[in-house]
Structure 1
Amino acid sequence: MIYKVHSLLCMLLFVTNSLFAQTVANSRITLGVTGHPLNQKAYLNSGVDAQLNLIKSLDLKYYRVDVNTSPDGIALDHYKLSELVQKAKKANISVLPMLYLTGFKFSLSNEDAYATGFKLGAGFGKKYGAYFDYYELGNEMDVHKELVRNSGSDYADYLAPQMKTLASFLEGLNCGLKESDPGAKTIVNCAGWFHFVYLETLQKLGVHYDIAGYHWYSYMDDYAKTVKVDILKVLPARLKKDIWFTEVNYSPRNNKDKNLEKTRRTWVLNFISRCRSAPGIKAVFIYELLDQPDLQNSSMSEKTFGLFSREINGIRSRSRSSSGSNTSEWRKKELAKGLSSIR
C-alpha cells in the first residue's frame, strides 16, 4: 500500500514538473563538464578551488560529479561534497550529482528494492536538496552483466525479472528524492549506442524520471552514421523527454593520431552545433574536466579526455598534490579553447 501511495504522489510531481518544463523555452543548450572531485587522484590533488576556476574560465554552467553514499543517503565524502557545493554556489556553477545505487541488488524483491531506493533518495534529498535542482540516478546500468544479454539494443536483450527489480529501485529513489525535495528533477542515463530501448523499458515499468541521460562518444556516432540513424532525432521521438548528453567526447580508434587534440576539438564542437539545432536536446556535458594520467587499466585516450592537462615548465606531469585556487599548472587544451570561442 505504501508503495502505491508513494508512486501516485511521485507521478503527480512528475506530471507537474513535465508541464512546467514544456512552458520554458530554451534558446540555447546548457553546457557542462563531468569530473571526479570526490574520488579520483588527479582531482583530489588539484583542489576544488582550482577546478571551479577552470570551469568558470570556460563559462560552463554545470559540474557533474559522481557521489557514493551510505544506504540512508549521506555522502561518504560528506565534507568534500559540502565544500564543493558551497564553493560552486558562490562561483555560480550548478552541481549535478550522479548517485551510485547504494544498496541495490538484483536479488532484492521488488518491494524491498523500492524501499531501499526510497530510503536512499529521501535521505540524500533531505541532507543536500538545498544545493541541487537535478539528480542523476545511477550510471550505465544498461550494461550491467547481470541485466543484459547481447548488445543491449533490443528489448529482448534485457532480462525481465532483473529489469523489474531495477525499475522498482529507481522508482523508489526517484520518489524518495521528490518527497524530500519536491522541486527535484531526475535523470536516468544509459551507456549510449542504441540503448534507448532500456530507457523505454524503464518507462513502461513505471519509472517516472524527468530527463533522459545519454552517453555518446565518437565511435558510436560513426556507427550510427553507417546505419543511417540520427540519434538526435531518434531520442526525443522515442523517449518523449528532454535529452541531456551527460558524457560526450571524441575517442579515437587508435592512439596514433598526431592531431588528436585538434580532431577532438572539431568533432565535439560539431556535435554541440548539431545538438543546438536539434529540438529536445537540452544539455551537453563534456567528459571530462582534467586529464588523468594515473588511471589504472585505462586506454591512453581515456587518460587524456580532459579539457585541461597539467604541465610544469611545458612538460606534461603526473598528478601531484596542489592546494588553493592556482590554475597556472593546467594547460587549456584545444577543445577547451574551442569551447571558449563558441560561448
Structure 2
Amino acid sequence: MNIAFITPTFYIAPAGGIKLQALMWKQGLEKFGHQVTLIDSWKGYVWTDFDLFFIFGYGGNLKTIVEALSKITDNIVLAPIIDTNYSVSLFRMAAKYLKCSTLRLHSVYNDLYEVRNKIRLFYARSAYEMKYLTDGLGISDNKIIVLPLSCRIKVPVKMPPKESFCFHVSLLVNPGKNVKRLIEAAVKYDFKLVLAGTLRNKEEEHLLLSWIRNHENIKYVGFLSEDELLVYYLRAKVFALPSTYEGVGMVALEAAACGCNIVLTKNGGPKEYYDNHVYLVNPYDVDEIGTAVVHAMNNNDYQPCLMEHIKRNYSFEICSQKLNATITNIKQTCIES
C-alpha cells in the first residue's frame, strides 16, 4: 500500500515518543513492501495517490486534517498516543464538553471526540490506552487494534558486566517524568544516579542543577546519541521510570532488553508490557522509589527472564509482523468493498 504518515502537531524536540513510534512503524512497514511517505506541510502531494492515511498523535490540526481528508477517502487511521494524567471519566468530560462553538473555542480533547466517527481504525499501545478510547470517546472495540510498541535496541550477544548505578533518561524537567522525586530518593537512600536527556534551555538546566545541588552520587551526562544510550543501558544495573503518568515508556522497555532491573511507575500503561517482572512504585512516594531502587540494585529477582519476555513479545520483527497484518487486513477490506 501507498501510505501517508501525518503528525497533526509540530515537534521541535530531537527525539520523542510520537516521532520514534512513527519512524519505527515506517521502517517496519517498508520491510513488507509498503511505501510510506512522511508528510511535510511545505510540500505538495496528490492526495488521491495514497491508499491509507495514518495519523500519529492528537491535538494541533487534527480536526482540520481529518475533516479535509474525509472528503476524499474513508481510509484514515489514527494512533492517538494518549498520555494523560486525567482519569477516564475526566477525559470523557473534557472530550465531550470542553469547547465553546459560539466563540470558536476548542480543545485537543474535543477535537479528537468530534472526528472519532471519521476514523476507520484506532491503534492503542495498551489495554490501558484502549479504555480511554472505549470509555472516554465511546469508540467500539471492533474499531480498535491494541498493538504494542517494539523495542528498537539491538542488544549485543555478549553482555558486559553490570555496574552499581541507576540510570534514567527523559525530558528531564517535565513534571510528569518525576525526576525531582527520583533525585530526592537518590539523596535519601544514597544510591548512584545517572541522568540523561533533553534540557531545552538554560532555565531548565539551572532547575535540574538546583535539584542535584552538590550531591556527588548524582550525575547529569547530557543528551545521548543512540550508541551512547545503548552503552548506558548495558552498564546500568537499574533503570528507573517513576513517572506520575506514562503511556508506554519506551526507554524502560529498551533498558529491560539490555538486562536492567526496572523500577516502574504504577500509573498508566507501561506495567502491561512486563509480565510482573518489574518493581512497581507509587510515583508520589520518595521512600517507595528509593527502597525499590536499592532492592533492585542488590537483587536479580526478574532478570534474565525479563529480557527473554521482551525478546519473545516486543522485538522489532514480531511487532512489525503484527502491524503489517493489520494493514494487510485493511487492504483486503478495501478490495472487498
Give TM-score, length-normalised by structure 1: 0.31
Q: More relative contact order in 1 or in 2 (CA 8 Å, sep 6+)?
A: 1
Give the greater-gyration-radius structure (CA): 2
